[in-house]
């Protein structure tokens, strides 16, 4: 049954590989800027990594946020950040940076002072205290989780395809991870455990799209042995482009909803995911795929499976500028 309205063209014939130099150069600029920002100003670590106090409370009456901020700042317990969350308009999160002097005793006094200042007008729901030592361990574990995720994906792609595909996928994911971390650094967005979750999710989303394209490339290489490699890559990508567009748009709509109504608690996570949706597709098209051209990949290099029977003539394929 034919759809009443066709939202996308039936066939795409864009020369993505021929237009690869400008996007690759742009990606190099993104990566360099991200690395420079990381070395110069670093990341704005949240309490999860930097250590500190996090208290969640609900106002029993009407919440007066400016007055609450003034009262908390008058306590002189360190840098304080107060934000609201939830739909009730009465839930607040109070974050206090790690105490530079006094250690655990100073932290306990700060918690006690905040609870006293909240008094009977607030119902304290939860209190979390993260020490600097625990925070530094979480930084190491978070970096290790990202590294193991990238290595695991590369090994899987290597076993599933060939080393050329694995290297292309690894470069693509590293691009996504570095530029996402750079986004946090450049705009000094708070970097916490939710950010680690966002980065790992972005890596999974990116490799999912890359594997779909790689699978089509491998099948096309086996079927059309006389077709040049750039044409094989373009032909394969154009065949799955509608799937990529529809999947990305659908996922992006969900993330946009989180950005708009998710509140301050999920804001940085949602923004990172929104960036990742676009950069994941971008890296698949202009990094993971074009990088195969420089490896001079041939059908003889495919070690898994046998050549597909049937038509072996080159498809009718006309290049169009992207």
3-state secondary structure 117-134: HHHHHEEEEEEEEECHHH
Between CA 267 and CA 145 the distance in angstroms is 22
Residue scoring higher pLDDT (92 or 299): 92
The mean pLDDT of 164-180, rounded to a whole number, is 88
Between CA 78 and CA 69 the distance in angstroms is 13
Q: Mind listing the domains of the chain with CATH numbers? A: 19-43+135-301 (1.20.1640.10), 52-130 (3.30.70.3400)
pLDDT at position 320 is: 42
DSSP state of 292: G
Instruction: Identify the weakest region by mean pLDDT among 175-184, 283-292, 308-317.
Output: 308-317
Q: Is the pTM above the cut of 0.85?
A: no
End-to-end Cα separation, the chain, in angstroms: 31
Instruction: Identify the weakest region by mean pLDDT among 95-99, 169-173, 176-180, 201-205.
Output: 95-99
Strand bridging mode 190-191 / 44-45: parallel
Instruction: Identify the weakest region by mean pLDDT among 60-69, 167-176, 236-245, 289-298.
Output: 289-298
The proportion of the chain whose per-residue pLDDT surpasses 90, expressed as a percent, equals 7
pLDDT reading at 1 higher than 70:
no
pLDDT at position 302 is: 55
The mean pLDDT of 255-280, rounded to a whole number, is 83
pLDDT band at 99 (very low <50, low <70, confident <90, very high): low
Residue scoring higher pLDDT (60 or 199): 199
pLDDT band at 31 (very low <50, low <70, confident <90, very high): very high
Token couple for 158? 């290597």
pLDDT reading at 47 higher than 80:
no
Q: What is the mean pLDDT of the chain?
A: 79
């Amino acid at each position: 049954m034919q759809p009443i309205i066709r939202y996308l063209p039936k066939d795409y014939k864009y020369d993505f590989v021929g237009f690869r130099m400008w996007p690759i150069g742009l990606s190099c600029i993104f990566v360099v800027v991200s690395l420079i920002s990381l070395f110069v100003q670093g990341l704005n670590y949240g309490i999860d990594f930097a250590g500190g106090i996090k208290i969640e409370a609900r106002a029993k009456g009407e919440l007066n946020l400016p007055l609450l901020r003034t009262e908390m700042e008058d306590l002189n317990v360190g840098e304080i950040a107060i934000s609201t969350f939830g739909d009730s308009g009465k839930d607040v999160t109070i974050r206090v940076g790690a105490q530079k002097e006094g250690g655990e005793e100073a932290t306990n006094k700060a918690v006690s002072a905040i609870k006293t200042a909240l008094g009977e007008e607030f119902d304290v729901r939860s209190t979390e205290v993260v020490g600097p030592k625990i925070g530094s361990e979480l930084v190491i574990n978070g970096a290790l989780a990202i590294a193991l995720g990238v290595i695991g994906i590369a090994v899987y792609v290597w076993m599933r395809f060939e080393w050329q595909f694995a290297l292309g996928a690894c470069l693509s994911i590293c691009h996504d991870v570095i530029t996402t971390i750079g986004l946090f650094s450049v705009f000094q967005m708070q970097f916490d455990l939710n950010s680690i979750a966002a980065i790992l999710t972005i890596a999974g989303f990116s490799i999912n799209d890359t594997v779909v394209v790689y699978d089509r490339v491998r099948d096309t290489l086996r079927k059309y042995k006389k077709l040049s490699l750039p044409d094989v890559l373009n032909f394969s990508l154009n065949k799955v482009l509608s799937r990529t567009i529809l999947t990305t748009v659908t996922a992006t709509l969900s993330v946009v909803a989180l950005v708009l109504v998710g509140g301050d608690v999920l804001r940085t996570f949602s923004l990172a995911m929104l960036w990742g949706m676009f950069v994941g597709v971008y890296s698949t098209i202009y990094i993971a795929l074009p990088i195969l051209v420089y490896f001079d990949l041939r059908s003889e290099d495919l070690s898994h499976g046998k050549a597909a029977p049937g038509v072996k003539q080159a498809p009718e394929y006309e290049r169009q500028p992207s």
